[in-house]
A and B are shown apart, each in its own frame.
Chain A
Amino acid sequence: MEKKLHIILLLLCQFLMIEAATLDSVYTDRNSLWRYTRIEALQNPAMMTRAYLKSYTELSVQCDYRKQSDAFCLEQGTGFLMPEISAHSYVRLTPSSVVWGEAAYANGKCFDKVYNNVADMELLYPDVIADSIGGDTKRERYLFSGGYAAENGPWLIGGELKFRAEQEYRTYDPRMRSIVSDLTLKAGMARMVGKYRLGGHAEGNIYRQTADVDFYGETNGMGELQMTGLGTSYVRFSGSNRDIFYEGKGGAIGVDVTPDEESGWFGHLRHALHQYERLSDEYNAMPLTTLYRQQTSITVGWKRKTGNRDQAYLLHASYDKRASDEHVVGSASGQDYPILTDLTMYKQHRWDVYAAALYGCDSWHLLARTGLLSHRQSYAYEERKMEYARLYGELTVQWLKPVGKDLTLNLHAAGGYAGNISSKILMPYANMTPSITDYINHSYQYQKASYTQAELGIKADYQPTKWPVGVFGQLATRWQFCSESEHEGNLHLTLGIIF
């Protein structure tokens, strides 16, 4: 009898040890810097079948705050305050199928945006409606996404749907209001070939934004500029034409090779094409400009995980091209304006090439990254150019370890420097208004600057074995110092539960 009891206790101990090890590996799987080597592969929804070791659901409240002493980019303003509640879930339905989803709501404000009166400026630049007054804006965002992936023999398939609705508005002149709907559908498949998963995915996107600017003050009836890049505007339809909308569509394909285990070669290639047409509401949906965006990225690397040590090395190159066609509009016939021709007046070429090395040992991870960023913009006539290139290096250290029985700490610190190595500006200053000259000079001042970055963060997860849920909190701060004697401060706070 005593012998049997010993055997049962021994088995129970073994089981508990395995369970404890599993919990640790689950936590590491979700929080470790090692995920950096898997992020791109997970763009393919088919690969999500093995995205996490265990199901989880996370509910959190978070807040992001950013303040710049002077706007590094006038169109994006001097910062934002963005509280958000969100829920993430990843559930294994059967050993071979998973579903995942996310829902989030954010309601905050952006500070002091100038020369930009639309939402999603990062997508639509330079084809925005703008003025030199600007101001703070309020912003509200709803995000929903969900997906399903399954394995059948050597095959993996998956699909994902993402929907974002957003509005950004100002309650004083100039009263801008932008309403965005953005839908992305993704489908992917992969196949086990030896020790590797070879996959491909395709995605389609439909985008729409309505944007209008109103002035309620009797003396504030100033005009809005239909910007076309580097301080130029579509003068003929600027002024009182303040109601526009954007219609966008696009797609992307990607190819992935990734080792089934955590060791081996990996590679990702992604090519995306999107276009955003700006139409005037007041001129019978007349197209003013169309922005064509082409993004291509490639990553190749090698990684190895053995016991408590891991290492990865990768090379990455990405190219982002924007080409904005101005539609040359003819004389109106009734309500219709014929398009005489299209001219690609604005172009932007952005290259980012870097090498990264990741090394992990026990509780520590170290990520080093160095690269070159080149950004060139040009406007055809009258000729305008603005260019800069930066050489950068970053170092991130992470320490992730259980402290005691119920608490796990995740600390990270990062530092980096991006130094300007070349810059060039060419502007027809004699033909530019003083306000546009100030705008351009301000943009160039911060584009040709060098930046020093420092980041510090702590995350604590507390999950006593008796609790059905775990709680976690995260606090992080990031600072950026510009060579123009200005700085940026960021604060991130998250509180949540996980089960």
Chain B
Amino acid sequence: MSNEIQCKDMKKILSIVMLLMAVVLSACHQDNDDYMTQATISLDGGDTLKIEQVQAMAHLTNLNSRHVTSTADFVGSKVQIELLRGAYQAHVEGILSYTDLQGKRYVRSFRAVSDYIELVNSGMSEVKLSIIFLD
């Protein structure tokens, strides 16, 4: 009889222990290891011109770590780069060729700057930078 009671008590204790274990283990922190984003920086010249080719250096400064990533791999008006997800400062400076509404082609120096852009999406992130001409 007492063995039966002990057995029931044991089962109860083990159930409570297992339940507690399950609760504690499920409360474990899930690491956020999705570090990188494929960022696309597009240069925006407005509706009156069509950017055809860009030769420029883009510098992206991570605001938290101050780590600077640079690239010059423009395809058309866009550049793609793999970055740590975060908030950035962007600085693009160089030369671009564009055509206006009449189809006339120009080559001019430009700069595109932003003090704060968010590139935080897991997977792809995209931002547009407005350009200003330097000449």
Pick the residue among A198, A253, A275, A347 that contacts B31 (CB under 8 A).
Answer: A347
Task: Flag if B67 contacts A382 (CB, 8 Å).
Answer: yes
Asked if A343 is an interface residue, CB under 8 A from chain B, the answer is yes
* CA gap between A323 and B31 in the complex, in Å: 7
Residues of B within 8 A of A275 (CB): 29
A135 contacts the other chain (Cβ, under 8 Å)?
Answer: no
Q: Is B111 an interface residue (CB 8 A)?
A: no
Tell me if B6 is interfacial: C-beta within 8 Å of chain A: yes
Q: Which A residue sits closest to B29, measured CB to CB?
A: A292
**Candidates B17, B31, B67; contact of A255 at CB < 8 Å:** B17
Enumerate chain A residues within 8 angstroms of B33, measured Cβ to Cβ: 344, 380
- B residues in contact (CB < 8 Å) with A: 6, 9-10, 13, 16-17, 20-21, 24-25, 27-29, 31-33, 35-36, 63-67, 84-87, 116, 118, 120
Q: Are B29 and A193 in contact (CB under 8 A)?
A: no
B20 near A202 (CB under 8 angstroms)?
yes
CB < 8 Å neighbour of A341 from B6, B13, B20, B85: B85
Interface size on A, residues (CB 8 A): 37
Instruction: Indicate if the CB atoms of A253 and B67 lie closer than 8 Å.
Output: no
**Inter-chain contact B13/A200, CB cutoff 8 Å:** yes
Q: How many A-B residue pairs have CB under 8 A?
A: 86
Query: Does B10 contact A198, Cβ atoms closer than 8 Å?
Result: yes
Interface pair B64/A236, CB less than 8 Å apart: yes
What residues of A have a CB within 8 angstroms of the CB of B24 in the complex? 251, 253, 271, 273
Find chain B residues with CB under 8 A from A255 CB.
17
Does B25 contact A271, Cβ atoms closer than 8 Å? yes
The answer to the question of A467 belonging to the interface, with a C-beta cut-off of 8 Å to chain B, is: no
Q: Are B16 and A200 in contact (CB under 8 A)?
A: yes
Whether the Cβ atoms of A273 and B65 lie closer than 8 Å is no
Task: Known A-B contacts: A200-B17, A255-B17, A273-B27. Give 15 more (CB < 8 A).
Answer: A191-B10, A193-B6, A198-B13, A235-B65, A251-B24, A253-B24, A329-B87, A340-B120, A341-B32, A341-B120, A343-B84, A345-B35, A380-B33, A381-B67, A431-B67
B10 close to A271 (CB less than 8 A): no
The answer to whether A326 has its CB under 8 Å from any CB of chain B is yes
